[in-house]
Structure 1
Amino acid sequence: MATTTASNPSLAQKLRGLSGEAVKFGLVGLSGVVVNFAVFWVCINGLHLASLRSNIAATLVAIATNYLGYRYWLYRDRDAASRKREITLFLLFSGAGMLIETGVLGFSVYVLGLSSHVQQVAAKVGGLALGTVFRFISYRTWVFTAVPEPTGEQLAAARAEAAQDAPEAPAVGVVAQAELMLAAERIRYAKAE
Protein backbone atom coordinates (compact mmCIF):
# COMPACT_ATOMS: atom_id res chain seq x y z
CA MET A 1 0.00 0.00 0.00
CA ALA A 2 1.43 3.37 -0.98
CA THR A 3 1.89 6.09 1.60
CA THR A 4 -0.20 9.15 0.88
CA THR A 5 -0.38 12.65 2.29
CA ALA A 6 -3.59 11.68 4.11
CA SER A 7 -1.78 8.88 5.97
CA ASN A 8 1.21 11.07 6.87
CA PRO A 9 -0.17 14.51 7.69
CA SER A 10 2.19 17.43 7.37
CA LEU A 11 3.35 19.44 10.37
CA ALA A 12 0.84 22.17 9.46
CA GLN A 13 -2.01 19.63 9.46
CA LYS A 14 -0.87 18.24 12.81
CA LEU A 15 -0.71 21.73 14.30
CA ARG A 16 -4.18 22.56 12.93
CA GLY A 17 -5.50 19.38 14.50
CA LEU A 18 -3.81 20.18 17.79
CA SER A 19 -5.06 23.78 17.76
CA GLY A 20 -8.62 22.60 17.06
CA GLU A 21 -8.30 20.15 19.93
CA ALA A 22 -6.94 22.89 22.19
CA VAL A 23 -9.88 25.17 21.32
CA LYS A 24 -12.41 22.42 22.09
CA PHE A 25 -10.49 21.57 25.27
CA GLY A 26 -10.68 25.25 26.19
CA LEU A 27 -14.46 25.39 25.59
CA VAL A 28 -15.10 22.37 27.81
CA GLY A 29 -12.63 23.76 30.32
CA LEU A 30 -14.31 27.17 30.23
CA SER A 31 -17.64 25.61 31.10
CA GLY A 32 -15.87 23.81 33.94
CA VAL A 33 -14.31 27.09 35.09
CA VAL A 34 -17.75 28.72 35.20
CA VAL A 35 -19.08 25.80 37.27
CA ASN A 36 -15.93 25.84 39.43
CA PHE A 37 -16.10 29.55 40.23
CA ALA A 38 -19.86 29.53 40.75
CA VAL A 39 -19.66 26.68 43.26
CA PHE A 40 -16.57 28.26 44.88
CA TRP A 41 -18.36 31.59 45.28
CA VAL A 42 -21.46 29.94 46.75
CA CYS A 43 -19.38 27.86 49.17
CA ILE A 44 -17.20 30.73 50.32
CA ASN A 45 -19.91 33.42 50.54
CA GLY A 46 -23.20 31.55 50.90
CA LEU A 47 -22.12 28.57 53.00
CA HIS A 48 -19.16 30.37 54.64
CA LEU A 49 -16.82 27.43 54.18
CA ALA A 50 -13.06 27.85 54.38
CA SER A 51 -11.36 28.68 51.10
CA LEU A 52 -9.61 25.33 50.68
CA ARG A 53 -12.78 23.35 51.40
CA SER A 54 -14.69 25.57 49.02
CA ASN A 55 -12.03 25.04 46.34
CA ILE A 56 -12.09 21.26 46.72
CA ALA A 57 -15.90 21.12 46.54
CA ALA A 58 -15.97 23.43 43.52
CA THR A 59 -13.25 21.50 41.71
CA LEU A 60 -14.94 18.15 42.30
CA VAL A 61 -18.19 19.40 40.79
CA ALA A 62 -16.28 20.86 37.82
CA ILE A 63 -14.37 17.60 37.32
CA ALA A 64 -17.65 15.72 36.97
CA THR A 65 -19.06 18.16 34.41
CA ASN A 66 -15.78 18.29 32.48
CA TYR A 67 -15.59 14.51 32.15
CA LEU A 68 -18.93 14.50 30.36
CA GLY A 69 -17.76 17.20 27.95
CA TYR A 70 -14.43 15.55 27.25
CA ARG A 71 -15.77 12.03 26.79
CA TYR A 72 -18.91 12.80 24.83
CA TRP A 73 -17.83 15.81 22.78
CA LEU A 74 -14.08 16.43 22.50
CA TYR A 75 -12.70 12.90 22.68
CA ARG A 76 -15.76 10.99 21.47
CA ASP A 77 -13.73 9.45 18.61
CA ARG A 78 -10.98 8.18 20.91
CA ASP A 79 -10.67 4.64 22.17
CA ALA A 80 -13.32 3.95 24.80
CA ALA A 81 -12.68 0.23 25.08
CA SER A 82 -11.80 0.42 28.75
CA ARG A 83 -14.03 2.97 30.47
CA LYS A 84 -12.92 1.79 33.91
CA ARG A 85 -9.28 2.54 33.05
CA GLU A 86 -10.25 5.85 31.44
CA ILE A 87 -12.30 7.04 34.41
CA THR A 88 -9.63 5.93 36.87
CA LEU A 89 -6.91 7.85 35.00
CA PHE A 90 -9.21 10.85 34.52
CA LEU A 91 -9.89 11.02 38.26
CA LEU A 92 -6.22 10.50 39.09
CA PHE A 93 -5.01 13.30 36.81
CA SER A 94 -7.94 15.55 37.75
CA GLY A 95 -7.05 15.01 41.40
CA ALA A 96 -3.43 15.95 40.67
CA GLY A 97 -4.66 19.08 38.89
CA MET A 98 -6.86 19.85 41.89
CA LEU A 99 -3.83 19.50 44.19
CA ILE A 100 -1.91 21.96 42.02
CA GLU A 101 -4.80 24.43 42.12
CA THR A 102 -5.42 23.98 45.85
CA GLY A 103 -1.70 24.17 46.58
CA VAL A 104 -1.42 27.57 44.90
CA LEU A 105 -4.51 28.78 46.75
CA GLY A 106 -3.26 27.42 50.08
CA PHE A 107 0.17 29.00 49.56
CA SER A 108 -1.37 32.37 48.81
CA VAL A 109 -3.75 32.25 51.80
CA TYR A 110 -1.57 30.64 54.47
CA VAL A 111 1.94 31.72 53.45
CA LEU A 112 1.40 35.02 51.66
CA GLY A 113 -1.52 36.02 53.90
CA LEU A 114 -3.94 36.95 51.10
CA SER A 115 -7.24 36.82 52.93
CA SER A 116 -9.81 38.86 50.99
CA HIS A 117 -12.20 37.01 48.74
CA VAL A 118 -10.94 38.89 45.69
CA GLN A 119 -7.34 37.91 46.47
CA GLN A 120 -8.41 34.30 46.96
CA VAL A 121 -10.22 34.28 43.62
CA ALA A 122 -7.08 35.72 41.98
CA ALA A 123 -4.97 32.96 43.56
CA LYS A 124 -7.52 30.42 42.39
CA VAL A 125 -7.18 31.72 38.83
CA GLY A 126 -3.39 31.24 38.96
CA GLY A 127 -3.72 27.73 40.36
CA LEU A 128 -6.39 26.88 37.85
CA ALA A 129 -4.14 28.00 34.99
CA LEU A 130 -1.30 25.73 36.13
CA GLY A 131 -3.68 22.84 36.74
CA THR A 132 -5.25 23.30 33.29
CA VAL A 133 -1.92 22.98 31.49
CA PHE A 134 -1.20 19.81 33.47
CA ARG A 135 -4.65 18.39 32.72
CA PHE A 136 -4.48 19.12 28.98
CA ILE A 137 -1.19 17.30 28.61
CA SER A 138 -2.18 14.34 30.78
CA TYR A 139 -5.70 13.87 29.37
CA ARG A 140 -4.63 13.84 25.75
CA THR A 141 -1.56 11.70 26.45
CA TRP A 142 -2.81 9.07 28.89
CA VAL A 143 -6.56 9.29 29.49
CA PHE A 144 -8.28 9.75 26.12
CA THR A 145 -5.84 7.80 23.99
CA ALA A 146 -6.19 7.69 20.23
CA VAL A 147 -7.33 4.50 18.58
CA PRO A 148 -4.20 2.86 17.19
CA GLU A 149 -3.93 2.74 13.42
CA PRO A 150 -3.93 -0.75 11.94
CA THR A 151 -0.46 -1.98 11.06
CA GLY A 152 0.48 -3.79 7.89
CA GLU A 153 0.50 -7.05 9.84
CA GLN A 154 -3.05 -6.41 11.11
CA LEU A 155 -4.23 -5.65 7.58
CA ALA A 156 -2.58 -8.82 6.29
CA ALA A 157 -4.16 -10.88 9.08
CA ALA A 158 -7.58 -9.43 8.25
CA ARG A 159 -7.09 -10.26 4.57
CA ALA A 160 -6.04 -13.80 5.42
CA GLU A 161 -9.01 -14.24 7.74
CA ALA A 162 -11.41 -12.95 5.11
CA ALA A 163 -9.87 -15.25 2.50
CA GLN A 164 -10.28 -18.26 4.84
CA ASP A 165 -13.90 -17.38 5.52
CA ALA A 166 -14.77 -17.33 1.82
CA PRO A 167 -11.98 -18.72 -0.39
CA GLU A 168 -14.31 -19.03 -3.39
CA ALA A 169 -15.25 -15.34 -3.21
CA PRO A 170 -12.11 -13.17 -3.41
CA ALA A 171 -14.31 -10.07 -3.43
CA VAL A 172 -15.05 -10.65 0.27
CA GLY A 173 -11.35 -10.18 1.06
CA VAL A 174 -11.37 -6.96 -0.92
CA VAL A 175 -14.41 -5.76 1.01
CA ALA A 176 -12.72 -6.54 4.34
CA GLN A 177 -9.60 -4.70 3.21
CA ALA A 178 -11.66 -1.69 2.09
CA GLU A 179 -13.47 -1.59 5.44
CA LEU A 180 -10.13 -1.61 7.29
CA MET A 181 -8.78 1.14 5.06
CA LEU A 182 -11.89 3.28 5.58
CA ALA A 183 -11.64 2.82 9.34
CA ALA A 184 -7.98 3.83 9.27
CA GLU A 185 -8.75 6.91 7.15
CA ARG A 186 -11.53 8.03 9.53
CA ILE A 187 -9.04 7.81 12.39
CA ARG A 188 -6.44 9.80 10.47
CA TYR A 189 -8.93 12.51 9.49
CA ALA A 190 -10.24 12.75 13.05
CA LYS A 191 -6.67 13.27 14.28
CA ALA A 192 -6.10 16.01 11.71
CA GLU A 193 -9.26 17.88 12.77
Structure 2
Amino acid sequence: MTDHAKLDRILVLGIGNILWADEGFGVRVVEEFHRRYAVPDNVTILDGGTQGLYLVNYVEEADGLIVFDAIDYGLAPGELKLVRDDEVPRFTGAKKMSLHQTGFQEVLSAADLLGRYPRRLALIGCQPLDLEDWGGPLTAPVRAQIGPAIELACALLAEWGAPAALRSEPVAADARLLANDIDHQSYEMRARPAE
Protein backbone atom coordinates (compact mmCIF):
# COMPACT_ATOMS: atom_id res chain seq x y z
CA MET A 1 0.00 0.00 0.00
CA THR A 2 1.40 3.40 -0.89
CA ASP A 3 1.58 6.25 1.60
CA HIS A 4 -1.09 8.13 -0.30
CA ALA A 5 -3.68 5.35 -0.53
CA LYS A 6 -7.01 6.21 1.08
CA LEU A 7 -7.95 4.24 4.17
CA ASP A 8 -11.57 3.23 4.68
CA ARG A 9 -11.77 3.62 8.47
CA ILE A 10 -9.43 5.74 10.61
CA LEU A 11 -9.33 6.01 14.40
CA VAL A 12 -7.73 9.01 16.12
CA LEU A 13 -7.20 7.91 19.71
CA GLY A 14 -5.91 9.66 22.82
CA ILE A 15 -4.87 7.47 25.73
CA GLY A 16 -3.70 8.32 29.23
CA ASN A 17 -4.84 9.34 32.68
CA ILE A 18 -5.66 13.03 33.23
CA LEU A 19 -5.26 12.55 37.01
CA TRP A 20 -1.47 12.10 36.75
CA ALA A 21 -0.15 15.35 35.24
CA ASP A 22 1.66 14.66 31.94
CA GLU A 23 0.15 11.17 31.76
CA GLY A 24 -2.96 12.97 30.47
CA PHE A 25 -1.21 14.25 27.32
CA GLY A 26 -2.93 11.87 24.89
CA VAL A 27 -6.41 12.61 26.22
CA ARG A 28 -5.83 16.37 26.18
CA VAL A 29 -4.53 16.30 22.60
CA VAL A 30 -7.46 14.30 21.23
CA GLU A 31 -9.86 16.57 23.14
CA GLU A 32 -8.31 19.70 21.61
CA PHE A 33 -8.11 18.08 18.16
CA HIS A 34 -11.86 17.41 18.31
CA ARG A 35 -12.52 20.97 19.50
CA ARG A 36 -10.57 22.51 16.60
CA TYR A 37 -11.21 20.17 13.67
CA ALA A 38 -14.03 18.45 11.84
CA VAL A 39 -13.15 15.18 10.15
CA PRO A 40 -14.64 13.12 7.33
CA ASP A 41 -17.25 10.48 8.17
CA ASN A 42 -14.71 7.66 7.93
CA VAL A 43 -12.69 9.10 10.84
CA THR A 44 -13.57 8.41 14.49
CA ILE A 45 -12.11 10.54 17.29
CA LEU A 46 -11.97 8.76 20.64
CA ASP A 47 -10.85 9.53 24.18
CA GLY A 48 -9.50 6.11 25.12
CA GLY A 49 -8.44 7.18 28.60
CA THR A 50 -7.21 4.12 30.49
CA GLN A 51 -9.63 1.62 28.95
CA GLY A 52 -6.93 -0.88 27.92
CA LEU A 53 -8.34 -4.02 26.33
CA TYR A 54 -11.79 -2.44 26.01
CA LEU A 55 -10.29 -0.55 23.06
CA VAL A 56 -9.72 -3.72 20.99
CA ASN A 57 -13.10 -3.43 19.25
CA TYR A 58 -12.28 0.10 18.08
CA VAL A 59 -8.75 -0.77 16.99
CA GLU A 60 -9.73 -3.90 15.05
CA GLU A 61 -12.26 -1.87 13.02
CA ALA A 62 -9.61 0.67 11.96
CA ASP A 63 -7.58 0.54 8.75
CA GLY A 64 -5.52 3.47 10.04
CA LEU A 65 -4.79 4.34 13.66
CA ILE A 66 -3.28 7.52 15.11
CA VAL A 67 -2.50 7.37 18.83
CA PHE A 68 -1.58 10.31 21.09
CA ASP A 69 0.20 9.34 24.32
CA ALA A 70 2.84 10.30 26.87
CA ILE A 71 5.82 8.07 26.07
CA ASP A 72 9.17 7.75 27.80
CA TYR A 73 11.47 7.97 24.80
CA GLY A 74 14.39 9.12 26.98
CA LEU A 75 14.24 12.57 25.36
CA ALA A 76 14.05 16.08 26.80
CA PRO A 77 10.72 16.78 28.57
CA GLY A 78 8.13 18.01 26.10
CA GLU A 79 9.87 16.61 23.03
CA LEU A 80 7.52 15.05 20.46
CA LYS A 81 8.33 11.94 18.48
CA LEU A 82 6.34 10.34 15.67
CA VAL A 83 6.72 6.56 15.35
CA ARG A 84 5.06 4.66 12.53
CA ASP A 85 3.82 1.22 11.60
CA ASP A 86 6.05 -1.67 12.78
CA GLU A 87 7.94 0.54 15.25
CA VAL A 88 4.82 1.45 17.28
CA PRO A 89 4.44 -1.70 19.43
CA ARG A 90 8.05 -1.40 20.59
CA PHE A 91 7.39 2.05 22.05
CA THR A 92 4.00 1.31 23.60
CA GLY A 93 5.66 -1.21 25.90
CA ALA A 94 9.28 -0.06 26.08
CA LYS A 95 9.10 1.34 29.61
CA LYS A 96 5.99 0.88 31.66
CA MET A 97 4.97 4.30 32.95
CA SER A 98 1.35 3.50 33.72
CA LEU A 99 -1.19 0.71 33.69
CA HIS A 100 -2.78 1.86 30.41
CA GLN A 101 0.45 1.63 28.44
CA THR A 102 0.95 -2.09 28.89
CA GLY A 103 -2.75 -2.47 28.15
CA PHE A 104 -2.37 -0.71 24.81
CA GLN A 105 0.44 -2.99 23.72
CA GLU A 106 -1.95 -5.84 24.54
CA VAL A 107 -4.68 -4.12 22.51
CA LEU A 108 -2.43 -4.11 19.43
CA SER A 109 -1.48 -7.77 20.01
CA ALA A 110 -5.13 -8.78 20.41
CA ALA A 111 -6.11 -6.99 17.18
CA ASP A 112 -3.24 -8.76 15.42
CA LEU A 113 -4.35 -12.17 16.75
CA LEU A 114 -7.87 -11.44 15.52
CA GLY A 115 -6.46 -10.73 12.06
CA ARG A 116 -7.67 -7.12 12.16
CA TYR A 117 -4.49 -5.12 12.75
CA PRO A 118 -4.56 -1.59 11.28
CA ARG A 119 -2.79 -1.33 7.92
CA ARG A 120 -1.30 2.02 8.95
CA LEU A 121 -0.31 2.94 12.49
CA ALA A 122 1.15 6.13 13.93
CA LEU A 123 2.08 6.99 17.51
CA ILE A 124 2.49 10.67 18.34
CA GLY A 125 4.20 10.60 21.70
CA CYS A 126 5.42 13.32 24.01
CA GLN A 127 8.20 12.90 26.56
CA PRO A 128 6.67 13.64 29.98
CA LEU A 129 8.24 15.77 32.68
CA ASP A 130 6.01 14.83 35.65
CA LEU A 131 3.90 11.73 36.17
CA GLU A 132 3.74 11.95 39.97
CA ASP A 133 1.57 15.06 40.49
CA TRP A 134 -1.77 13.45 41.31
CA GLY A 135 -4.56 15.78 40.25
CA GLY A 136 -2.08 18.13 38.63
CA PRO A 137 -2.25 19.68 35.17
CA LEU A 138 0.04 19.04 32.22
CA THR A 139 3.45 20.63 32.74
CA ALA A 140 4.32 23.63 30.55
CA PRO A 141 6.70 21.79 28.14
CA VAL A 142 4.16 19.02 27.55
CA ARG A 143 1.16 21.38 27.24
CA ALA A 144 3.14 23.34 24.63
CA GLN A 145 3.18 20.24 22.40
CA ILE A 146 -0.61 19.91 22.08
CA GLY A 147 -0.71 22.14 18.97
CA PRO A 148 2.31 20.53 17.25
CA ALA A 149 0.91 17.05 17.97
CA ILE A 150 -2.39 18.06 16.34
CA GLU A 151 -0.50 19.37 13.29
CA LEU A 152 1.25 16.00 12.93
CA ALA A 153 -2.11 14.22 13.09
CA CYS A 154 -3.58 16.55 10.45
CA ALA A 155 -0.65 15.80 8.14
CA LEU A 156 -1.16 12.06 8.62
CA LEU A 157 -4.90 12.31 7.95
CA ALA A 158 -4.22 14.25 4.75
CA GLU A 159 -1.65 11.62 3.71
CA TRP A 160 -4.21 8.89 4.38
CA GLY A 161 -6.88 10.58 2.25
CA ALA A 162 -9.04 11.96 5.08
CA PRO A 163 -8.03 15.59 5.64
CA ALA A 164 -9.32 17.42 8.71
CA ALA A 165 -10.84 20.90 8.34
CA LEU A 166 -10.88 23.70 10.88
CA ARG A 167 -14.32 23.99 12.43
CA SER A 168 -16.36 27.01 11.38
CA GLU A 169 -18.60 26.66 14.45
CA PRO A 170 -17.67 25.66 18.02
CA VAL A 171 -18.38 22.09 19.10
CA ALA A 172 -21.79 21.84 20.76
CA ALA A 173 -21.65 21.15 24.50
CA ASP A 174 -23.28 17.75 24.04
CA ALA A 175 -20.75 16.79 21.34
CA ARG A 176 -17.58 17.41 23.37
CA LEU A 177 -15.30 14.47 24.09
CA LEU A 178 -15.03 15.24 27.79
CA ALA A 179 -17.78 16.67 29.95
CA ASN A 180 -18.67 16.90 33.64
CA ASP A 181 -15.96 19.52 34.25
CA ILE A 182 -13.09 17.21 33.32
CA ASP A 183 -12.49 18.99 30.02
CA HIS A 184 -9.03 20.57 29.95
CA GLN A 185 -10.03 24.16 30.71
CA SER A 186 -12.46 23.33 33.52
CA TYR A 187 -10.11 20.78 35.08
CA GLU A 188 -7.11 23.10 35.24
CA MET A 189 -9.14 26.08 36.48
CA ARG A 190 -10.66 24.30 39.45
CA ALA A 191 -9.09 24.50 42.89
CA ARG A 192 -6.60 21.76 43.73
CA PRO A 193 -7.54 19.53 46.66
CA ALA A 194 -5.66 20.14 49.90
CA GLU A 195 -2.66 17.90 50.59
Q: Do both proteins adopt the same fold according to a TM-score greater than 0.5, normalized to the shorter chain?
A: no
Alignment TM-score, normalising by the size of structure 2: 0.27
Look at both structures and tell me which one has the larger radius of gyration over its CA atoms.
1
TM-score by length of 1: 0.27
Question: Which one has the bigger strand percentage?
Answer: 2
